[in-house]
Amino acid sequence: MLAKHSMRRFARSNQFSLKKETISERIRNFEYAVRGAVAIRAMEIEREIEKGVKYPFDKIVHLNIGNPQALGQKPITFNREVLACAMYDHQDSNRKHYSKEAVDRADFYLKSINHRATGAYTDSAGLRSVISEVKTFLEKRDGTDVDMESIYLLNGASEGITILVRLLIQNDTDGIMIPTPQYPIYSALVTRFGGYQVPYYLDEENQWGMTEEELETSYQRAVDNGITVRGIVTINPGNPTGQVLSEKDLQTVLKFAYDKNIYVLSDEVYQKNIYVDKEFISMRKALKNLGAPFDDNVELTSFHSLSKGLLGECGLRGGFMEVHNTDEYARQMIYKSKAVNLCSNTLGQIGVGLMVNPPTQSSVSKTVYDQFESEEKLIFDGLTSRAQLLTKKLNEIEGVTCNEVEGAMYAFPKIEFPDSY
């Protein structure tokens, strides 16, 4: 009997139940170019080089995704000290190696974790101590009151974006308006969840700004095709276009969303990466400044992340979202969607606290503050000079033009080929 059973199992070993024909068509069809075929081939070449395969080069530089520390950006010392102290909760030992301020900040976070253990689960929405810091940050930034219950800590902004896109799409006739050029996560998620991509084109001649006419044209084209537009995405500063949107741009979107009764998803992960004489205005602040009836009615979720900014802590997978003017039942579904994964990783949550509540002259010693300030300035100055250099060098190439890189970490040049090409 045992032999027959073994033979039967062997005979079926190549008849997989999970294969191309049985995997969801939505999964087969969605593409995430940032980690797609080109990136996969690059990793294959790296492994081949390690095995001695000869190429005209000896290393691969990965530029497919914003990954600052992989390209040499150094982490902020104070932040890493706090994380180290939180992981190794022995206060007397920590004080020998790290600043008192770092130990005290780690202790502040540990007190809000069950059993003072960074390996323990937190509430699904996140650590209350960090949520409180995010609330203070948002209120100071936007000049408005923020409800702590509207804040969710995330495994990177992408987790929150995934939750909202999934909630917005009910079927294949639901669409989401996406800025074009765009960061590919949005098109990938819309396809993955069976929705319809509704591109609206940014105005390259106007520093990748947006116009009401284009929003209306894009929307009407979708409606004429039987699509119910459920939401609209903005990315500010722009990824991959590098522009900083004006308050007028943002309010154009908000008025449009109010008129069409659609949800606004505001991607703001590069809000500290601005290299020109412009101010970052959050969508939440732009909405507050519009006043009634918009501020009380436009549904909005904004996202921020540890991965970008001046921290570059992509691997910590930390971020947050703030949900505004959203139905109570929808909030419950957001929480339930978070709870399925129990909670975001604890170190990422602590990293968010450090991002929104950095050392200040009044909160730490001069030595700690000066070190933090000099490290952050070094990172910012480096990003600024590279943005300027990239803009300059691209525009020096025949047939290539590029708008000034005002913010974020990318340039989006236009390449024109001669008619005889």
> What's the structural domain count of the chain?
2
Are 43 and 163 members of one domain?
Answer: no
| pLDDT tens digits, 349-400 | 999 999 999 999 988 889 999 999 999 999 999 999 999 999 999 999 999 9
Position 260 scores a pLDDT of 96
CATH code of 180's domain: 3.40.640.10
Per-residue pLDDT band at 29 (split at 50, 70, 90): low
Residue 192, CB-side half-sphere exposure with 13 Å CA sphere: 14
Position 124 scores a pLDDT of 82
Position 297 scores a pLDDT of 93
Position 6 scores a pLDDT of 54
CA distance 385 to 127: 37
User: Domain for residue 373, yes or no?
Assistant: no
Q: Poorest-confidence range of 129-138, 168-177, 331-340? A: 331-340
Q: Taking 70 as the threshold, does the pLDDT of residue 22 lie above it?
A: no
User: Domain for residue 26, yes or no?
Assistant: yes
Position 42 scores a pLDDT of 83
Q: In what order do the strands lie in the sheet with 300-305?
A: 151-154, 319-324, 300-305, 263-267, 228-235, 174-180, 196-201
User: Domain for residue 98, yes or no?
Assistant: no
Q: Taking 70 as the threshold, does the pLDDT of residue 72 lie above it?
A: yes
User: Domain for residue 114, yes or no?
Assistant: no
Which among 47, 87, 10 is positioned nearest to 348, based on CA atoms? Answer: 87
Are 22 and 164 members of one domain?
Answer: no
Position 52 scores a pLDDT of 82
Kindly provide the b/e burial profile for residues 180-218, where b requires at least 16 CB atoms within 10 angstroms of the residue's own CB. bbbbbbbbbbbbbbbbbbbbbebebeebbbbeeebbeeb
Q: How many CB atoms lie within 10 A of CB 53?
A: 9
| pLDDT tens digits, 220-255 | 999 999 999 999 999 999 999 999 999 999 999 999
Q: Which of 276, 294, 325 is the last residue of a domain?
A: 325
Residue 22, domain extent = 7-65
Q: Which of 325, 355, 370 is the last residue of a domain?
A: 325
Spell out the alpha helix ranges (H) of 111-180: 128-142, 157-168
CA distance 406 to 53: 41
Tokens of 155: 């495994």
CA distance 358 to 364: 10
CA distance 356 to 138: 9
User: Domain for residue 87, yes or no?
Assistant: no
CA distance 350 to 82: 9
Position 123 scores a pLDDT of 84
Q: Taking 90 as the threshold, does the pLDDT of residue 8 lie above it?
A: no
Are 319 and 187 members of one domain?
Answer: yes
For residues 298 and 339, which has the higher predicted lDDT (pLDDT)? 298
Average pLDDT rounded to a whole number, residues 331-360: 90
Average pLDDT rounded to a whole number, residues 46-73: 80
Q: What is the mean pLDDT of the chain?
A: 87
Kindly write down the DSSP assignment for every residue of 91-103, as one continuous string.
HHHHHHHS-HHHH
Position 353 scores a pLDDT of 96
User: Domain for residue 201, yes or no?
Assistant: yes
Which positions ≥6 away from 157 have C-beta within 8 Å?
267, 269, 303, 304, 305, 307, 319, 321
User: Domain for residue 31, yes or no?
Assistant: yes
Contact 158, 130 (CB under 8 A): no
Per-residue pLDDT band at 273 (split at 50, 70, 90): very high
Q: What percent of the chain has pLDDT over 70?
A: 89
Are 161 and 58 members of one domain?
Answer: no
Q: Which of 40, 65, 90 is the last residue of a domain?
A: 65
